[in-house]
Amino acid sequence: MARDHFTSLRLETAARKVLGLDGRGHIGGIIDADFIDAGDAYMVLAMSLTPYYIQGSQEAKNLINEFLEKYNALREVNEEYNQLVQEASSELVALVEKIRKL
């Protein structure tokens, strides 16, 4: 299945936004569209949420766990990969905004 690099860039941008990072290739090259293209979007989601999980309330942790469970299918490249990456990109930013308000 072909990856959509534009979709991967959307997730990279969302991850950099929630982590407050400029530029590409942060965290050993994981926060990068090329890494996402390789089929590792789930890891990008998990790493993007780690600081919020560690510092968050139990409610924040529950929200993060639910989000990651929802996108568990991104652990493997499948027919839905591009669509799920696109959805996760939007929901990642919204989730972090919600957590910041808790």
Which pLDDT belongs to residue 89?
Answer: 98
CA distance 43 to 75: 8
CA distance 28 to 50: 15
Half-sphere exposure of 74 (CA within 13 A, CB side): 27
pLDDT tens digits, the chain, 102 residues: what are they? 567 899 999 999 999 999 999 998 999 999 999 999 999 999 999 999 999 999 999 999 999 999 999 999 999 888 999 999 999 999 999 999 999 999
Other CB atoms within 10 A of residue 49 CB: 25
Query: Which DSSP category does 2 fall into?
Result: -
Predicted TM-score (pTM) of the model is 0.93
Which pLDDT belongs to residue 2?
Answer: 67
